[in-house]
Chain A
Amino acid sequence: QQPVQSPQAVILREGEDAVINCSSSKALYSVHWYRQKHGEAPVFLMILLKGGEQKGHEKISASFNEKKQQSSLYLTASQLSYSGTYFCGTEGAGYSSASKIIFGSGTRLSIRP
């Protein structure tokens, strides 16, 4: 039930772009994206609620393909501050009296000057 993230790690030079993918074997209600810097708590980036929805946050955007049960996070013109581990979190479709986010294993992003 844990979503699968790829790649596991990415090394970029400042200014380069990256894509992080997240896929689930279950129908999804929403996809969340978080970034965690070393020694810190995960920080919310965005939630995608509808199939085909795209959202943006500075130069970080994401898409959600509900049919394929996939989401992708796009980082453009990466900055040093983008370094960290990115987690997608998925929430299953269908009514639940107690919803929860299941996180993927994370993608470690390193940006070099």
Chain B
Amino acid sequence: DTAVSQTPKYLVTQMGNDKSIKCEQNLGHDTMYWYKQDSKKFLKIMFSYNNKELIINETVPNRFSPKSPDKAHLNLHINSLELGDSAVYFCASTSGISYTGELFFGEGSRLTVL
């Protein structure tokens, strides 16, 4: 059983479209994150949720809207996709909130915007 799973693994879409990425963790963790890794491999934090509540929003454009229906799931919806959104999006989870323990990453979702 995969601890943190993301779907889909690959997305290829046109500029202006809307797309969603889903993440699920079966580790019983309370905190989940979205990280974006660009072509230069820079891993940048986007959002964090703790037990369904948004706790970190790193000045990400409004076109990105995370949603956490329950503490095991964190989804990312992106509206009006732009070329610069092309990246690998990683979901991660950890058991801590005020202190970050080991991050468990999903396999990543590679988004290509044409």
Contacts and interface: CB of A to CB of B under 8 A. Distances in A.
A98 B42 contact: no
Contacts of A96: 98
Contacts of B1: none
Interface string B92-114: 00001111111111111000000
Given A91-B99, A99-B97, A99-B99, A106 B107 contact: no
B50 interface: yes
B24 to A, nearest CB: 15
Contacts of B27: none
Contacts, number: 66
Given A44-B102, A98-B56, A100-B45, 20 more contacts: A34-B103, A40-B107, A40-B108, A41-B105, A42-B43, A42-B103, A43-B105, A44-B103, A44-B104, A85-B41, A91-B99, A97-B55, A97-B98, A98-B48, A98-B55, A98-B97, A99-B97, A99-B99, A101-B45, A106-B42
29 contacts: A29-B99, A32-B100, A32-B103, A36-B41, A40-B107, A41-B90, A41-B107, A41-B108, A42-B90, A42-B103, A42-B105, A44-B102, A44-B103, A47-B102, A91-B99, A95-B98, A97-B55, A98-B48, A98-B55, A98-B56, A98-B98, A99-B97, A100-B33, A100-B48, A100-B100, A101-B45, A101-B103, A102-B45, A103-B42
